[in-house]
Amino acid sequence: MSSSRCKSTQSTQSTQSTQSTQSTHRPAATFTSCKSLCAVKIMKRTFLTVGSGLKERSIAIISCLILLVVILTCLYLRILMNISPVDYLLAATEGSPRQSITDDRLNFGARPQVQTRTLWEAPIIWEGTFDADLYDRTHIRNQSSVALTVFAVGRYLDAYLKTFLTSAEKHFMSGLRVTYYVFTDLPDRMPVVELAPRRSLKVIQVAKHSRWQDISMMRMDAISKVIDAEIRHHFTYVFCFDVDQEFTGRFGSEALGDSVAQLHAWYYNRPQSAFTYDRNPESEAFMDAGDYYYHAAIFGGVWEKVKDLADHCFLKIMEDKLNNVEALWHDESHLNKYFWLHKPSRLLSPEYCWDPHIQDKRDINVTRLMWAEKHYDSLRTG
């Protein structure tokens, strides 16, 4: 009995042990299985997340690239809108234009017998091509202001200055704010001129040079200095004139532009071979080709451009002096070189600076500024 109880007990214990062992091992297998399942799910989720992240990142990169292409295309098209096809041809030449024409109201076909546009699309201003009232209203609305510089040195002051200023008051930039900057070595000899409202005059004393050629060339330095010291703070535009001229008709806001050059009355309708460029390779003004022949008696534009022109010409004049060279037509030769390298955005027809000694006036419907009679023998000091 004891033996059978023992067996029974052993059997019971064995059964319990087996059940205990089974009950202990089942949860372990289940836990391992759960871990594997969770790991698979996590890996799947991670893979999906990474895949989704890569997909989102790829989409973002592609979107950025598309946006970049659109921006670059817009910039390129914007540049093309401001450059005419001719400009690409001119890029191979020695100069290139700063801007294309923006005067969409100009009537270029009104004067078929003369050239009204340059190859780089800059307007050439002739009577009949512009609406004077439209230009005046626009510049008055924009509060455009003009500084006029003129040199009256030595005998030129008594001979020409009063006529120049009096006629300017009648015809130059009517309706706009204007200040005359008179450079002279004789400030106590200044004539009395009655000025209209919003017009003023300032006298700047300069040294007297022994040679008229030096007076002509040194004006570029004086113009640059007064622009830097004063004009740039108060004025939009600058126009520079020779004093031996007289205004005879409207010289108005249609002449204002970014960079303004004056066609020489004696050369505007002549072949390039007749232009009196400086052909001396030793000079900084040397030119063997060009577009037009410009007259240094008038040039203008926004103050930044006029200062750049004056600085360029003065620098080249001084370089020539160091090499004992003098340009054929002094500052005018250097001015022509500058406008060859930096195309003007606006050209004034010979109406704006006419010599009455020219017999052929078929193209001239109106004269706005006339050359005064020259008395070089008695006026020039050297």
**Residues in binding site:** 151-153, 156, 242-244, 264, 276, 332, 355
With CA atoms as reference, report the closest residue to 259 among 334, 339, 144: 339
Of the candidates 353, 113, 152, 137, which has an alpha carbon nearest to the alpha carbon of residue 249? Answer: 353
d(C-alpha 314, C-alpha 194), whole Å: 34
Contact 369, 352 (CB under 8 A): yes
Provide the residue type at 287 as one letter: M
Q: Which residue among the candidates 121, 284, 326, 332 is catalytic per the annotation?
A: 332
What is d(CA 36, CA 34) in angstroms, rounded to the nearest whole number?
5
CA distances from 184 to 161, 223, 331 (A): 10, 13, 18
Q: Check if 351 is active-site.
A: no
- Give the integer Cα–Cα distance in Å for 179 and 33: 96
Say if strands 294-302 and 259-263 run parallel, antiparallel, or are unpaired: antiparallel
Report the chain's terminal Cα–Cα distance, integer Å. Answer: 158
Annotated binding-site residue numbers for Mn(2+):
242, 244
Task: List Cα–Cα distances, 139 to 126, 173, 211, 235, 344, in angstroms.
Answer: 19, 10, 40, 13, 20
The residues carrying an active-site annotation are 332
